[in-house]
Chains A and B, each alone.
Chain A
Amino acid sequence: MSVEVLSDGRKRISAPLSDDDVRALEIGDVVLVKGTVYAARDAAHKRMVEMLDRGEELPFDIRGQIVYYVGPTPERPGNVTGSAGPTTASRMDKWTPRLLELGLKGIMGKGGRGPAIRAELQKHTAVYMAALGGGGALSALTVRGQEVIAFEDLQTEAIRRMELEDFPVWVVNDCLGRDFYAETIRPWRKNDLLPEALHVPTDEWAGENGGG
C-alpha cells in the first residue's frame, strides 16, 4: 500500500498508486503527498495528447502516477523551486480522459471536476485532489526537487518531475464519483439573505475555466 494513515487522521500517499490505494482515499481527506509527481498544465497536456494521437509514447510512464497542474515561478539561485501552487483543474478536462485511460491515478490542481470527469475518475479508479489555491509560497516549501523532463520550450508549462515532501491537498473527487465542494458548502449557505433564483452551481464550477 502507498497510503499511510497518520495518527491525526491525515493520509500520506506516494506514487505509484494502485487501485486499492485510490479506494482508500475519500472526499474530505487531508492528504500529504510524498515523493514523485509530474507537473503539467495546459500546453503540456495539449502536446501530450497530440503525441498520443500520432501514436507516440508520453515523455514519462504515467501508469500509477500523480500529475500536478502547476506552472512554477523561476527558482532563485540556490533554491530548488519558485512558488508552486495549483492552477484550475477544469481547464484540463478536454485532455484528462486520455491520460486516465493510460493509467494516471492521481491528479492535483485547483477547484473541482464536473460530472463528466467525475465519471471518468470512477471508471478508471482515480482520484482528484485540490491544493491550496494562491498559496504558492507555502507550496514551495514542500518541493524538494524538480527537473524539466520534456517540452522545455514551454517554459513554466514544461513537464517537470517534482519531488515533494508532505505536500498538503484535500480529496475533492474520489473514485466513487463524489464531490467534496457540494457537501462542504451546504451548511454555510444562508438562504434567507439570498434571492430565490440564486443557485450555487458546484457542478458547473468545474466547467468554468479558472486560471493560475
Chain B
Amino acid sequence: MAEPREIDATEITRVVRDLCIEINYKVPEEMVRLVKRARELEESPLGRQVLDLLIRNQELAAEGEYPYCQDTGYTVIFLDLGQDVHVTGTDLYDAVNEGVRQGYGDGYLRGSIVRDPLFDRRNTGDNTPAFIHTRIVPGDQVRIQVDAKGAGSENMGKHAMLKPADGLEGAKEFVLQAVADSGPNACPPGIIGVGIGGNFEMSAVIAKRALMRKVGQPNPDPRIAELEAELYEKCNALGLGPEALGGTQTVLAVHVETMPTHIASLPVAVNIECHAHRTGSRVI
C-alpha cells in the first residue's frame, strides 16, 4: 500500500483564501466571451445597453479595486479529496473556513452570512461558515473549487418531485417556468443549472454541480447536450432579456446533469446563476 501524501492544512487555507479574492474580482474567461456574444446576438436596444454596462462592470472589477457585485455570496466549496491524501496540522473544514475568513477580510469582500436563520440573524462578519461539498476520489491530490454564489439568483431556485409520467416534457416545462418566474431578481443573463434524477437532495446537489462546469461546455451525453441546447433556445424565447428589461438574451447557457433515480420518482432541481458567475479552482 502506498504511503499517503501529506498536505498541510495551511496550504488548503492559502488556496481557498486566494480563490475567494480572485473570483470576486475576475469572472471566468468564458463569461467574458459569452457576455460579449450575447451583446452581439441581443436584438433589443435596451438589452444591448444593459450588456454594454455588464461588460464595463466585468472590466472594472477585473482591475481589482471593486468586487464585481456587492453580494459576494455564499461561499460554496467543492472539495475533491484524493483518498491517498493525509491532511495534517488542523481540521480540514477549519482550514477551509480559515481561508474564507482571510479571503473575505483581505479582499474587502462583504460578509453576508447570518449565524442562524430564525433565532439569531446576526452577521458572522467574515462570510463563514462556507458550505462544503466533499467527494473522496482516487489519487493523491486535492481539487478545490470555490464558488461565490449570489443570493439574488440562489433565491430563485426551484425544486419539484415530478411524476415519472411527467417525463421529459414535464421536466422541460418546469425548468422554463422556473426561469420565467425568476425575472429580474436573478440578474439575467445567467446560467441555468438543472439536476434531474437522484432523490430530493441529490437533484439539488447536481444542479449546483452543473453550474460548476466550464460555462457553455455541453454535457458529454449527446441526448442531454441536445436537451441543453433546446432549453437554451426556449429560455431565450421567454423575452426577459438582460436584467429582464426585455430582449432575446435571458440565459448564456443551460447545464443539465442527471443521475439514476427511483422507479417512483422524477426529481427536478433548477439552480439559477446570475451574470456574476464567480468560480475558480486549483489542484494541490
Which residues from chain A sit less than 8 Å from chain B, CB to CB? 43, 70-76, 79, 82-85, 87-88, 90, 110-112, 130, 132-141, 153-157, 170, 180-181, 184-190, 193-195, 197-202, 204-205, 208-212
Contact = CB atoms under 8 A, between A and B. Distances in A.
A71 B150 CA distance: 13
B60 interface: yes
A193 to B, nearest CB: 4
Most chain B C-beta atoms within 10 Å of own C-beta, residue among A72, A141, A194, A201: A194
B243 A85 contact: no
Given A134-B275, A137-B60, A208-B181, A188 B247 contact: yes
A69 to B, nearest CB: 11
Most chain B C-beta atoms within 10 Å of own C-beta, residue among A70, A136, A156, A170: A136
Interface residues of B, number: 63
Contacts of B245: 170, 180-181, 184-185
B14 interface: no
B152 interface: yes
Contacts of A133: 152, 184-185, 187, 243, 274
Given A185-B244, A186-B239, A195-B169, 13 more contacts: A71-B110, A76-B65, A134-B57, A134-B69, A138-B56, A154-B123, A185-B240, A186-B246, A188-B43, A188-B240, A188-B247, A194-B234, A205-B182
Contacts of A185: 239-241, 244-246
Contacts of B237: 189-190, 193-194
B183 interface: yes
B65 A73 contact: no
Most chain B C-beta atoms within 10 Å of own C-beta, residue among A73, A198, A204: A73
